[in-house]
Structure formats: structure tokens, C-alpha cells
Structure 1
Amino acid sequence: LVQSYLVQARKAIAEGKTGSEEGGKNGDGGLALFRAYRGLPKSKPLIKFLSESGMRVILQQTENFYLADNSRQMPEADKPLFFTIDEKNNQIELTEKGIDLITAQGEDPHLFIMPDIGVEIANIEKADALTAEEKLTQKEQLMSDYQEKSERVHTVNQLLKAYTLFERDDQYILSQEGKVMIVDEQTGRVMDGRRYSDGLHQAIEAKEGVRIEDASQTYATVTLQNFFRMYHKLGGMTGTAETEAGELWEIYKLDVVVIPTNRGILRKDDHDKVYRTVREKYNAVAEEIQALVQAGRPVLVGTTSVEISELVSRMLKLRGIKHQVLNAKQNQREAEIVAAAGYPGTVTIATNMAGRGTDIKLRETSREAGGLAIIGTERHESRRVDRQLRGRAGRQGDPGSSQFFVSLEDNLMRLFGSERIAKLMDRMGMEEGEVIQHSMITSSIERAQKKVEENNFGTRKRLLEYDDVMNAQREVVYRRRRNALFGERLELDILNLIYDVSEDIAAGHKITNDYADFKLAIIKDFGYDTHITPQQFSALAAPALTQKLYDEAANYYDSKNEHIGQNTMPMINELLSQNTPYENIALPFTDGHKHTQVIANLHKAQATNGLDIVRQMEKGAVLSTIDEAWTQHLRQMDDLKQVVQNAVYEQKDPLLVYKFEAFELFKRMLSKVNHSTGAFLFKADVPVAAEAGFAEPNSYYEDDIVEPLPKLKAEKAISDVSLGAGQEDLDQAAELGLAPSIRQEPMRSQKVANR
């Protein structure tokens, strides 16, 4: 389809039918060219056509027409396409025609029509003919259909992204094991252990026909900015911070101080050489390298991606020029390749940032020939990366030179900077193969880079504003988790938890004034039958009722913990009297639904009359509940961040909507943590038989789960095996018919990132 529009554009423009300034009508070249660009902007024939004289100007004028009045007429341009791609914002969107094509393949015709949940539920509630059970069934079916549809639509969009916006050996590579590995666009290095989120990585794996691995689950998240803010003292050294001084001040309040060089810089930085097409540019690069090698100078060729480094390598092989390639696929030999790059006539092809940290030491003959020559095959989006590439030559007073080669088909020029230069080249009547080199062109390219940097800074700043919301929540959750992990304030946190749950129960049921439901809520959350009478429930205000319920629940919790100590102390005393060589014991705890093992120190347990066992149980319960709730919350926050972007259409600030909604989500998450943790702590007990000589349980514990004591001892012996027990204990456990409980370590399919 894109190819047909490109052919149509060529023909119409050749006949003089551009129609670019008025947007054009069907059959005009400007509209056909714009549709080809909207459909597949990375199409190589399209990129080549746009490099011809006047084509980019026609495209720009047509685009300006359709972007006017908030893109009011854009649907008219997009109508014949199956999908549209916004390359600048990395977004893709299905059109009506694309949706019809997918649904015509036997799919549900309403697959892309998302139901309005609120309206549909209201309609179900209004249906008097339905019973309560039928209403519930229909609501569940509605939610299930909505979730299935949203997941399938999301999958289709991610597959489209994988096929149209992501290219192998550019954004990612395939490893020898057949895994999709992300390549850092800034450094050209493989980002080991990193995966794209939201199903995009699985979509790329499906595209490449390799094994599709499970989606990664986020357990913790922090932006680099907020990570650095955790430190009181920040500082750093780099040769290229000057261009980022504004961002460093705005985000971290750090000044940038420029220190004069130790020795004068002898490197000669030439103005960029600009060509019309990529083909012309790479031919010029190969000729320049050949001339430099013949002059006896070492050459470092900087490329922006693995794909380009391999393309330049193939061109040099055809010319018989010996060289070394350093990219994400050969990163193991990095230091060795870079160290040898200073010999006369040596050519090293590297992704822009590869090899940094290893000095290129020049031989004397290399110095005499003019030093290291830097060849940049493309301008990077960031001026810092270009400066770092230039900075590989001319260190400590060494001679050297740097030269960048640019074409109008390069990503930076294509997206941000080529219109003005294209007009200039048109006026000068530039022919194929001719080069333009002028300070005005170089400064124009740097302005384009500055524009990209400003866009990227705006994106990072916006991301930080969103993460600041998450950071406040993160600090609250991590503080509670730290208290549980180290035992600091754990008792106080649990008392606060009991008060919060009591407040929820009391306040909620005072509104409905339903005493029966009030009693049921206490049984559900605290596991006992309250002594608060209906008269007290009616007479007391919500704050007084909260305090009374809190006092009752706290007293019950203390008595329950004493009961656990009484039940476990005889066994602990018996084990210590036998001079057992083990220091720790593993006790099973259950609330009838969840089961966990608590490891406690025998001597501490004896010294505290069994209360140390309770403290260890509390620690485990709080940690596991917080971790589970926090991972779910992170997933919900990611979804929320995507959803709130639609607030723009309601003339609302998405960030403000995000803050309000995130606060509500966080309150619900904390409430869920409180109720889940409280329910387990109040109901959990050690399953111990009464006939074993332990204390009789009080009236609250009549329904406890009971297990024979010998099995408990065996489980203790088994768990202690992992702490250093000998073969005799294993034999004893085997006689009791129990297999040792050996802790399994997690299996890792790949190296963990940054460990």
C-alpha cells in the first residue's frame, strides 16, 4: 500500500500536481507522499525519494496543512491506510480500515469496540427481570470480556510496533542462544538482563521466531534521578557535562565547573560534510578512510548502531582495507581492540561509546603522520555523544582530527533538521555525489541536536514528575518494610495497623448502622466474636467505637500471643534440656488458608517465654503481605500512567489526574495490606495437639488445626538439617516418613543485570 502511494506521488509530482499547500486532493502528489510517510516512515524507498530535490519541502507543507486546527483534517489523510505511525513519539494507531481487515479474518466484529463498563453495569442493575445471581453472573461476564478485549487490542498494537518501529541490529540484536537482547542506543552496548515492558519484548520474540519468554514482573522501580537524590553528596567528572549544565542544575541543583585542559588541544575539528543520500555518504566515508590509511594514520570510525558498523565493515572488506569491528556483538574483546587502535594504518570501527575508559595510545610514527583520525558516520541525537567521540583524539596534547559525515536520510536530519538544509541544497543545485561543507550547515545540525535534547529533557522531566508521586509512596512502604525487616517499631506498626482496621470497621458500619454486619467484619478481620453489645454500638459515636474496638482487639491479640508462647515453651524447654546442637527451630504457622514456616532462635524464644517466635511470625507476615501488595500496586500504577494520558482530550492536566488517582490507589493498597496482615496475625497459630501435655487453648482457639507433636519435632529436625544437622537427624526424619525440606535456590536463565 505504501509502495503504491509512493509510485502515485512520483507520477503526480513529475506532472506538477503537488497540491501541498492546500493539503491536496486524492491524486495529488503531496497527499500521496504524506500518506506513504504516515504509513511507513522507515521505508527505504521513501527515505531515498525524500532526499531528492524539493521532496521534503512538499512533504513538510502537506504535513503542516493536516496538522493545523488540532489535526482536524488528519482522519481524511489517514482513511485509506491500515495503520499510522508517529515516529517522533514512537506511537502507532490502527485506522478503521485496519480494524475492518482484522475483524474480516474471522475475528469478533466487536473486538475493538470497548464496552462502557459504568453504563453496562447500570443497565444490568436496572433489569428487573434478572435475579441477583443472574445480575452477578452478567457483571462477571462483562468484566471478563472487557479484560480479554483490552489484552488482545494491546497485543495487536505491540505486534505492529515490533514489526514497524523496531529493527534487528539497531534497537536489538539476536544472541547466539536465540535471545532478543536490547542494545543501548547511547552506548551501543548490550543491556544484559533488560527486557522491554508491556509485552513489547514478547512481540519482538514472536516477530523473530524465537522462544517467547514470560513477561517480567516489576518488584521495585526507581528513576535514576530519584535514586541519586537519595544521597546527600553528589558529584562527578566528565569531559562533556557543559552541554547538560541546565538539566544538572534543574534536577539536582548541581553546578557545572569547566576545568582548563592540562595541555593545549591540537585536534582539528572539521565542519560536517553533508550529502543528499546515505549511499553517497558511505562511499565518501570509505574513500576518506582509504586516504587516511595510506597516509599512515590510525582511524577510529564511530557508528550509531550495530547495523551501520557491519555495513561499513563490509564496504572496507570490498576495498581490501584491514580493520577491527567493536560493537555489541564483539564486546568481549573491547579493551584489546581499543588498546591496539593507535598503531599506524589501523582502522577500528566502533559504536560511538564503545571502548571508553581505555586510552588509545599513539605510536610515535602515528603522531608524526597527524595523530588519530576520528570519522563519525552520523550525528547522534545528543551533542554529548558526538563530543565524546571527538574526544577520543587529541588527548594530552596529541595531534588528531575529527570529521562527521551526514546525509539528509539520517534519522536526526530526517526527523528534525533537514528542511532548511534541503532548501539550501536545492538552491545551490547540488548534484548526486556532491558535498556541502560550511560552518552554517554545522551550526544548523547542532540546532537540530539541541531541539532533540530539549525534547528528551522534557520527557525525562515529565517522567520525574510522575515518579515523584511514586517516590512519596515508595518511602512510606519501604519505611514500613524496613521496620519489619530489622524489628524497629514493628510492635508500634502492628498497633497502628490494628487501630486503622478498627477505624475502618467502626466508621464504615456506623454509616450503615448494621450491627450484624459489624460483628461479621470483626470475625473476618480479627477472628473473634466481639463483646460490644448492640446498645453500645448504637450509643457510641464512631471515634469512641473505634477506640473501644481497638482496646478489645489489642487485648485479644496480646492474649493470643501469650497462648502461642505457652503452647511452644514446653517443646523449647525440652529441646534445650537435651543439649541439642541446633540454635534455631522452624515452626509451622497457619490461619487455615495460608501456611508459613517461622524460624526462631531457641535461646531467644526461651528468654522471652516464646514471644520471640511471635515476633518472627509478625515479621514474615508483614514482609510477605507488603511485597505482594506492592508488586500489584506497581502494575496498577503503570496502567494508570497510560490511562491518564487521555485526560488531555477533556482539557485536563494528565499529571494532576495521575496524582489524584494514584493517591486513591495508594490508600486502597495500604488498607488492603492492613486488613490482610491483620487477618493473618490474629488467626495464625502453631498447630499443636492438646494431648501432648501443652497448655489447653482458651475459648478463642477451639477450632485450631491440630497435628501430632512427633511430626512437629520431625519438621524441626528437618528444617535444622539445612542449618548444619548431621546424617543421624536425616535418618531420624526418614524413619518418621518425612523427606527433608531442602530450600531450593532460584534458577537463573541469564545473568542478573548490574550484579
Structure 2
Amino acid sequence: MIGVLQKVLGTVGDRRLAKYRPLIHRINHLYEGYQKYFLEKDFSEKTGILKEQIANGYPLDKQLPEAFAIVKVAFYRIFGFEIHDVQLMGAIVLYEGCMAEMKTGEGKTAVAVFAAYLNALSGEGVHIVTVNPYLAERDSEEMGKVFQLLGMTVGCIKSNMSVQQRQAEYSCDITYSTHYELGFDYLRDNMVYQVGNRVHRKLSCVIIDEVDSILIDEARTPLLISAEPGKGTDYLYFIDNKVKSLTSEDYQIAESTKQIMLTEEGIDSCERIFGVHNLMHIDHASLYHKLLQALRANHIMHKDIDYVIETNEQGVREIVIVDQNTGRLMFGRRFVEGLHQAIEAKEGIGVQGQPATQATITLQNYFRMYGKIAGMTGTGLEVRDEFRKIYGADVIAIPTHKPVSRIDHPDLLCITEEEKFKRVVQEIKHKFVRGQPVLVGSSNIKKSELLSRMLTAEGIAHKVLNAKNYREEAEVIRLAGQKGAVTISTNMAGRGVDILLGPGVAELGGLHIIGTTRHESLRIDNQLRGRSGRQGDVGSSHFIVSLEDELLANSYPDHLLDELVDLDLANDAALDQPRYIRGIRSAQSSVEGEMYSHREKLLMYDQILNIQRNIIYSMRNDALEGKDVSDEIHGMIRKAVKNEVVRCCPGELQEDWNLVGLVVSLGRIFPYKQSLQLVGLQDITPTSILDMIQEQLLAYYEEKKGLYQGDVLELICRSLIISIDKHWLIYMEALEEVKEGMSFRVYANVDPFIEYERETARMFDELLASIEQEALRVIWNQLE
């Protein structure tokens, strides 16, 4: 086996992989020995010994050969198969905190067990993240057998679990979950009112399956916890109705970035419709924002593509987001910044009031809090630079256990979408008659249902897998490699489920993949293509696309389009010349660049919030844990007084002072019965006023604290938590308004990011002052 690995490494020529050769040789040598004499009890005993050694300071790195060897034995004892050397290579990459690119069917699920086991020996817990709840539960049960034999505890986070259940699952050595569950639990942990209600432990180590999907594709949508939505508003129906009356001359659409802007004619039209003099004035920022969202809802967001309308358990119709990367429905989530409301108004269903944001974080910033982050993917090299820049992690391509036998045919470029689907049906029919299974990738629900109708008309039996029947996905995908099977699937449905070839299928050429569009990212196309040819299986793939597809209609190179126009091709023409096929990749590269820029921008904005969030969460956790903040209260009193004195008594001239206003404002912060004593007013200065008031308030505080019957520290901490929660919620709402106004800064030739940074820095200083003043007010009232 080592000889095979050496041969593979020689062709890869990667020095980093080559250095693993002696390490893998050592693991396999130990494996042979353990395989001969290990009894069932020896596994947990060995784990105990390794844990004890690590607790006594023995380096984790030095434990790798032994740890990996016993995990390999455990796999053989449980499942009866041997782990391949390339899987050990992937496991080492994960342990080193990198991203392992491993093709479909190479056993990534097993690879994660090795790195998780070794990291879990430290006793701090490891999280293994999957793309959906089904995989989390399945892997925790299947791989849990290995962990349990090794003496490790395994948990799985599921939706609707109680706090106590979540705590139990997180306390395990290994915890499986989805990224959403982990992220939302982190946000909720920073909203609890008792330490005992927090569920997370230290964020020590995380291993993410389909890491590019989670950390790259889904990074565009932040995790967000909102308050209960308010009541609907007729005003949004009114705006939607007026927006529907606008013509194509009134707006411009950038389909590639899903953005829409009013033209000069559109601005004039809206000013007439809504009776405003200057729509672009800052006073009309809220109206302008609602207009843009209504335009997006009507002209960019499409039913059965971006969202579906579902009837919930209460019998109420609601808008449910379709995840554009997986094709799955995202129950419980709403489009942000008022877009969800605009779609509700467009579709004529109940508009929920925009809920206030209580807590939010991007997936990038959540996962960057872990001490070690690693991941697995079938398509990571294309975004290697992004992983390095944002996560400080390299992507290492792992060779396949067996050479890839799949035949990838050149794309076929059709002029019209109608002709494209005709050719797709012809190709499916040709394969179906032979009995060769076909998996067809579709971009959205509408296209999959269109293709389904065409196949039905041809008498071709098939299965359709999209967001409307997501519950069947694992079983449908599992059977997609059986003789005569035809399966239509949106983007990545069924990921993590191996497609095994049925009897006689290899002789027919294996599983045939047909892509009916090229996606925004080449990675997503490669993920579809990679469903065929697993573990050296034969297979084939073919992308049939058209110039009317969304990607090509918006981003196909202009000079090539001009050439095709000059050729005056018939509508039923199709092209396979390399020159025109390369234009497809050029279109993808253009959109990939735009999407990367969008993710980078999102991260830049959230980085500012992340610094502030960490400060607030740290303050809140100190108070929640009862940290002694007595000295800090003195500082808060001094600061509050200083702020008011500076505001009310600027400069040295007494005629510029507002002493009455000073006393009133201090009375709001420090509501007490005893009046402030201001003496020697004829010779007084701002500094002496400050000293005088601070001295009186500090003395009063100490006096009342000594007379207080309850626990002063508990009072202080409770007051801080109440104040933090109240003003953080207000701050979150204010930030949304600031973001809405940023679009106006572009017209003033100002960098919106710099302006956002400057504005939020000022707002955050005000937030901290408000938190402290509110806490002091609560404390003062209680002490009275």
C-alpha cells in the first residue's frame, strides 16, 4: 500500500504531501501491531492513557501516529474495511488546521474522525459541522460507533432541543451539528440571564464538511436573531402597487449582483408619485430604501427560484427562502433589510412588521473564534486565496485512492434555452433507452419542473428532487446510480450521500451527469460533476447550456456575442468550438470576482461590528458571571459626571455655561433626594465643578451602598445586564438605518466603508455612555 502511495505522491509533486510519507508508514506499522492484539477494552484504556499523557504536557503532535493507528483499527473492527493511505493524508491535513480537498466518494466522513479524535484528547471538545441536519444525525450515529469503541462520548445538536439537552450534547468529546445550530447557540448564549443557561463550552476545534459551501457560499447571509415581528403595514402594499406602475425606463438592473437602481427618470417618477421634492435627500432615506427593496422584490427575486410560498402549521401562507447553493428551503429565516416584507407585499400575503435585530454575526467571524479550524471539500482549490486571507488556512489537494475514470465531455453551447432543453431531453432519452442512469443538474425549481414535464411527454420515468420535496433527497440520491434511473436535482441536493452504481451499470458507462446550466461558481459545477466517477468508477459528464441562461445572458464576453451575431446562427444551432466554450468560463470568472468582492465587503462591515460585539459580550459575560466591578462603578460615576460637565459648561466663560441644565441632566442619571451643593460660584471653574460633583456623588454612593440590605454586587451586575440588553437592541436598529443611508454617500464621492467606520465609532462611544448611564440610574433608584 505504501508503494502505491509513493507512486501517487511522485506524480503530485507536492512537498507538503511528501513529508507525510514517513508519518503514514509509522501509522500503518503501529496499525499492524494493534490489529493483532487489541481487545475491545484496550481501545478505551489506550484513549485514557493518551489523555493522561496530554494532561501531563506531552505534545499532541507526538500522539498522532498512535492515535491514528488505533482509530484505523477501530474502523476495521466496526465496519470491516481498511482506511486508505490517502484518507490518512487528509486526516493529517485536517489536524494541521488546513482544508483538505478530497473528491466525492473518497471517504471524507471517516477522515474527520481521525482529526477529531486526536484533538478531543485535550478534553476541550471538538465540533464536526455538516451541511444539513440529516447528515449531522447520520454521521453522529455511524461514526459514533467508532468514537464509542475508542471510549469517546458523541453528541448531536438538533433543532427544538431544550437548553439542558444542548448542554449535554455540547459536553461530549465530539459534537456533530450544522453551522446554523452552532452559530445561533453562540448568539443565544450571549442573551441569557443566567450562566447556567449557556450551552457552549470553549470554542476549541471545529472540522467543517463541505467547507467551501459553508464558509464561502453561505457567508453572504449573516446569522441573525430578531425580536418577534410587529404588525403588518398597509404602507408597504401601497409602495409595492406604485412600484409595479414604473416602466423599464425607470430602473436599471445588475442581474449578476442582484442589485437594482432608479434611473433619473425613475427618481422623477417616484418624486411625483410620493409627493417629495428631492427623493435623494437624507430625510427620505427610509422611503428610498423601501422603494429599492420593492423593486428588487418585483424584478429580481423570483418565485420558485429565490423563494417559495408555503402554508405553515397554522394554515398561514408565508414566504420561505430557497438556499441558492443547496436548493433547500430555509425555514425560519427571513431576507434582511426589509426585502422579506417587500416580497410579502408583492405576493399579496400578510406583511409582518420588520423585526428588530437582537443579535447578528457572519459565519466568517463566528468560525474565526475557534482555536483551530479545518475543513473538507471536493472543490476548494479555486478559492484557496480566500481561505488563506480570511481564515489563515491553506487548501491541500489530496490524491484520489484510485485514478478518476470519468469522461468529462466539452460543453455544448446552444443559442436559445428552448433548443438547450430539447437537446438535454434527447441525451437523456438516448441514455435511458440503454438503461444508463442519468443525474441532471437543474438551477432552480421552475427549470426542474419544466424538464420534468418534457420527460413525462416522452414517456421517460424519472424522479425530481428540489426544494419542494427535500425530505426525500437522501433516498432519491442514493438510488440515482441504479440501472434506468433518471434523476433531476437542484444544485447540491443529497450531498454527503454516496451514489453507488447498480448491477450492470459499469458496463453501460456508469452514471452520466448532465448540467443544464453553468453556475456562478465553477466549484458548484464541479460538485455536480463529481457525483459521478467516485472511487475509480466509470462515468461521464456533459454540460449543455444556452446564451439565454442567466449567467451567460448577463456576463458572456461582448466580443464573442458580437461574433455570434455576425454569424447569424439559427435558433436551433449549437456550438462546441473551444473559443466560444472558453467564453463560458470567462463569464463565470467575472461573476466569481464580483461575489468575492461582495463577501469581502460584508466581512469588512462585520469586522467593525465584531470588535464592538466582542466588547459588549465581554462586558455582559463579566456581569453575568458576577465579576467584581465595584471599582469600575466609581469610574462610571466619574465619566458620567465629566461628560455632562463638558456638555453643559464648555470653556472658561460662565456666561456660556448652563448650570441649571447640568443639574437637571445629572438628576436624570442620578435620581436621588439630596440636592447637589454647588458652592463658591463666583470663583468656580469647570474643573472645580467636576471635582465638587464627583466627590459628592461618590460619597453618596458609598453611604447608600453601606446601608443597602441586599447584595450590592448582584445589584450592579443585574443593572448592567438590563442596560446592555436595552441599548444593544437600540444600537442594532440604528446600525440598520446607517447601512440604509450608506448608498447616499456614493453620490457624494465618499467611500461608504470609511464613512460607516467613522459613524459607527461615534455611535459606539455613545452606546457605551448610554449603557453606563442607564446602569447607574437603575443602581441609584435601587439604593434609594
The one-letter amino acid paired with 2:311 is: Q
Q: Please say if 1:92 is aligned against 2:260.
A: yes
Which of 623, 633, 637 is 1:498 aligned to?
A: 637
Could you say which structure has the larger radius of gyration? 1
Write the mapping of 1:312-351 to structure 2, written as runs, cut at 5 A. 312-351=451-490
Distance in 2 (CA, whole Å) between partners of 1:223 and 1:559 is 46
Which of 552, 562, 566 is 2:706 aligned to?
A: 562
Count of residue pairs brought into register by the alignment = 529
Distance 1:287 1:79, change over 3 A: closer
Q: Please say if 1:648 is aligned against 2:752.
A: no
Distance 1:158 1:647, change over 3 A: closer
TM-score (norm 1): 0.66
Distance in 1 (CA, whole Å) between partners of 2:592 and 2:497 is 27
Q: Please say if 1:425 is aligned against 2:425.
A: no
Question: 2:505 matched to which residue of 1?
Answer: 366
Question: 1:677 matched to which residue of 2?
Answer: 775
Write the mapping of 1:566-581 to structure 2, written as runs, cut at 5 A. none
The one-letter amino acid paired with 1:168 is: K
Which of 723, 731, 735 is 1:637 aligned to?
A: 735
Distance in 2 (CA, whole Å) between partners of 1:331 and 1:537 is 80
Write the mapping of 1:585-604 to structure 2, written as runs, cut at 5 A. none
Distance 1:323 1:262, change over 3 A: same
Higher RCO (C-alpha 8 Å, min separation 6):
2
Deviations 1:195-225 (A, max 9, x none): 1122221121122122222322211122222
Q: Report deviation, 1:358.
A: 0.6
Distance 1:540 1:218, change over 3 A: same
Question: 1:250 matched to which residue of 2?
Answer: 389
Q: Please say if 1:454 is aligned against 2:622.
A: no
The one-letter amino acid paired with 2:465 is: L
SS of the residue corresponding to residue 311 of structure 2 reads coil
Q: Report deviation, 1:494.
A: 2.8
Distance in 2 (CA, whole Å) between partners of 1:523 and 1:408 is 70
Distance in 2 (CA, whole Å) between partners of 1:354 and 1:79 is 38
Distance in 2 (CA, whole Å) between partners of 1:181 and 1:662 is 32
Mark the runs of 5 or more structure 2 residues left unpaired by the alignment. 1-245, 651-655
Distance 1:492 1:240, change over 3 A: farther
Question: 1:110 matched to which residue of 2?
Answer: 276
Question: 1:156 matched to which residue of 2?
Answer: 291
Which of 278, 286, 310 is 1:175 aligned to?
A: 310
Distance in 2 (CA, whole Å) between partners of 1:447 and 1:96 is 32
Q: Report deviation, 1:545.
A: 4.7
Q: Please say if 1:516 is aligned against 2:656.
A: no
Distance in 1 (CA, whole Å) between partners of 2:545 and 2:578 is 14
Preserved CA contact (<8 Å) 1:303 1:378: yes
The one-letter amino acid paired with 2:720 is: V
Q: Which moved more, 1:634-643 or 1:295-304?
A: 634-643
Distance in 1 (CA, whole Å) between partners of 2:667 and 2:407 is 81
Distance 1:85 1:347, change over 3 A: same
Distance 1:520 1:480, change over 3 A: same
Distance in 2 (CA, whole Å) between partners of 1:243 and 1:392 is 18
Question: 2:249 matched to which residue of 1?
Answer: 81
The one-letter amino acid paired with 1:461 is: E
Q: Please say if 1:440 is aligned against 2:579.
A: yes
Distance in 1 (CA, whole Å) between partners of 2:661 and 2:265 is 54
Question: 1:65 matched to which residue of 2?
Answer: none
Distance in 1 (CA, whole Å) between partners of 2:437 and 2:708 is 77
Distance in 1 (CA, whole Å) between partners of 2:494 and 2:271 is 50
SS of the residue corresponding to residue 357 of structure 2 reads coil
Q: Which moved more, 1:429-438 or 1:508-517?
A: 508-517
SS of the residue corresponding to residue 274 of structure 1 reads strand
Deviations 1:168-200 (A, max 9, x none): 001111113321111111111111211112222
Distance 1:265 1:559, change over 3 A: same
Write the mapping of 1:1-150 to structure 2, written as runs, cut at 5 A. 81-95=249-263, 98=266, 109-110=275-276, 113=279, 146=283, 150=285
The one-letter amino acid paired with 2:526 is: R
Preserved CA contact (<8 Å) 1:169 1:307: yes
Q: Report deviation, 1:368.
A: 1.3
Distance in 2 (CA, whole Å) between partners of 1:242 and 1:108 is 51
Q: Please say if 1:303 is aligned against 2:442.
A: yes
Mark the runs of 5 or more structure 1 residues left unpaired by the alignment. 1-77, 117-145, 566-609, 686-700, 702-755
Distance in 1 (CA, whole Å) between partners of 2:725 and 2:629 is 16
Distance in 2 (CA, whole Å) between partners of 1:445 and 1:684 is 69
Q: Report deviation, 1:541.
A: 5.1
Q: Which moved more, 1:664-673 or 1:107-116?
A: 107-116
Q: How large is the RMSD of aligned CA atoms in angstroms?
A: 2.5
Question: 2:375 matched to which residue of 1?
Answer: 236
Question: 1:553 matched to which residue of 2?
Answer: 697
The one-letter amino acid paired with 1:160 is: L
Distance in 2 (CA, whole Å) between partners of 1:435 and 1:157 is 38
SS of the residue corresponding to residue 330 of structure 1 reads helix
Structure with the bigger percentage of strand? 2
SS of the residue corresponding to residue 532 of structure 2 reads coil
Q: Please say if 1:272 is aligned against 2:411.
A: yes
Question: 1:401 matched to which residue of 2?
Answer: 540
